[in-house]
Structure formats: structure tokens, C-alpha cells
């Protein structure tokens, strides 16, 4: 029995680093959502993503919104354009910024107004280069523009 226990501990010790590396494959920083006016049904969220390997953000969900889309805002001949993206590439080792005026998350059919100080939960679906998808949970604060 002692040999079995030592073997199990050794196996766990060898597997834990690979499990934690997979869990931390995408680092999320500077995550926040913009507060909304009462009755406003659309909001926006921003965050920085950095993947250790080539990956793709393919979907985002939250219990706070009916649906969430990945968008890109850009200027074209003096006209601001906003386009929905089906996916957002996350090149290995590069920070992909979702920020006002660029890539961002659009939150549709908000369940309630987003108030400064609230916390929102998001599920990010990330697909690695082999095509395997996983969900990464993110919690972010709501901030006001003030």
C-alpha cells in the first residue's frame, strides 16, 4: 500500500504542472465592463488577452447578457465602422487588447443595468491550434466613464 501511495503522489506531482499550464494558457488582464444607463440593453466589455500558444477566442457568454459578440471598431475614410467577428486570433506571446475604439465585446439583451462596482462573470471559449476548445472563466468589475 505504501508503494501504491508513493506512486500516486509521484504521478500527481508529474501531472499537476501540465494541468496548471493548460489552465493558465491565456492570461487575462485589465478586464472591465462599462457601466450603463438605466434601461440600456447594450453594453461593452474590455480586456487584454495573452496566450502562451497560438489560439483563437471563438465565443463569449455571460449570465448577465442574452448574447455577446466580438467586435472590431475602426475608421475607414473618416467613418467609424463596427464589425462583428466570428473569432479573434490570439497569437502566441502577443497581448491582444480589447479596448475602447478597437476590439471589444458587445453585450446584448442585458439582464439589468451595469452599475459601477458590480462584478460580471464571463465564459471565454478558446480554441487551440489543434482545434481543441476549452472554457476559461473570467470575473471583471463594472466601471463608470467618470
The larger pLDDT score, comparing residue 119 to residue 23, is at 119
| 3 state SS of 71 | strand
Q: Which pLDDT score is estimated for 1?
A: 52
| 3 state SS of 73 | strand
Q: Report CA Rg, the chain.
A: 19
Could you tell me which CATH number the domain at 25-143 has?
2.60.40.1890
- Domain locations along the chain: 25-143
Give the whole-angstrom CA distance, residue 117 versus residue 140. 10
- Residue 16: pLDDT band with limits 50, 70, 90: very low
pLDDT at 96 over 70: yes
Going by the DSSP 8-state scheme, the letter that residue 100 receives in this structure is T
Q: Which pLDDT score is estimated for 2?
A: 53
Share of the chain above pLDDT 90, in %: 73
DSSP of 22-33: HHTSEEEEEEEE
Going by the DSSP 8-state scheme, the letter that residue 116 receives in this structure is T
Question: What pTM was computed for the model?
Answer: 0.80
Q: Which pLDDT score is estimated for 25?
A: 75
pLDDT at 30 over 50: yes
In terms of Cβ atoms closer than 10 Å to its own Cβ (0-12, 13-18, 19+), residue 127 is middle
Average pLDDT (75-86) is: 88
Amino acid at each position: 500500500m505504501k508503494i501504491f501511495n508513493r506512486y500516486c503522489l509521484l504521478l500527481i506531482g508529474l501531472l499537476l504542472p501540465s494541468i496548471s499550464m493548460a489552465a493558465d494558457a491565456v492570461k487575462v488582464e485589465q478586464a472591465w465592463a462599462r457601466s450603463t444607463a438605466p434601461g440600456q440593453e447594450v453594453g461593452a466589455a474590455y480586456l487584454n488577452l495573452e496566450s502562451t500558444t497560438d489560439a483563437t477566442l471563438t465565443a463569449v457568454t455571460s449570465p448577465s447578457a442574452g448574447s455577446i459578440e466580438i467586435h472590431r471598431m475602426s475608421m475607414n475614410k473618416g467613418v467609424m465602422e463596427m464589425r462583428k467577428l466570428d473569432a479573434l486570433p490570439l497569437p502566441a506571446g502577443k497581448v491582444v487588447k480589447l479596448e475602447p475604439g478597437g476590439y471589444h465585446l458587445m453585450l446584448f439583451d442585458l439582464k439589468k443595468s451595469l452599475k459601477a462596482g458590480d462584478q460580471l462573470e464571463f465564459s471565454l471559449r478558446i480554441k487551440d491550434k489543434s482545434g481543441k476548445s476549452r472554457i476559461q472563466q473570467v470575473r471583471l468589475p463594472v466601471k463608470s466613464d467618470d
